[in-house]
Amino acid sequence: MLTDSDRYQLLKALEHNPNLSQRQLASELGYSLGKLNYCLKALMDKGWVKAENFRTNQNKTAYLYQLTPAGITEKARVTRRFLQRKVEEHQQIEQEIEALKQEVAQQTP
């Protein structure tokens, strides 16, 4: 199952550099090649990414991964969800830090 984080990272990377090879993309995202292949297939099955073979490229296995209009819309949705989650995490961390500061202040003679 593709998490919002995976979806966001992959859609963002493909939007910025659609001509990366799967190996390069996996390395950039810190994914195994198998995980990246699974994620790309899931995005293509949803119609959010399409793969086009470079016809003029000597390496006939090279593909250009492009976001479809539906993929661009999904990237906007997942970006909003990802941002909201990060904001909530940030607020939680701020609360934890404040609680720790109070604990330290109470323990300090």
pLDDT digits 0-9 by tens, 92-101 = 999 999 999 9
Does any domain span residue 37? yes
Does any domain span residue 109? no
| Whether residue 87 has pLDDT greater than 90 | yes
* Overall pTM surpassing 0.85 (yes/no): no
Does any domain span residue 82? yes
In this structure, which amino acid lies at residue 89?
E
Does any domain span residue 35? yes
Residue 10 belongs to domain spanning: 4-103
Does any domain span residue 72? yes
> For the segment 20-76, what is each residue's pLDDT rounded down to a tens digit?
888 999 999 999 999 999 999 999 999 999 988 765 556 556 678 889 999 999 999
Rounded to the nearest 5 degrees, what angle is found at the Cα of 99, between the Cα atoms of 95 and 104?
A: 145
Does any domain span residue 61? yes
Q: Residue 12 sits in a domain of what CATH number?
A: 1.10.10.10
Closest CA to 49 of 75, 82, 23: 75
Domain count, the chain: 1
Does any domain span residue 99? yes
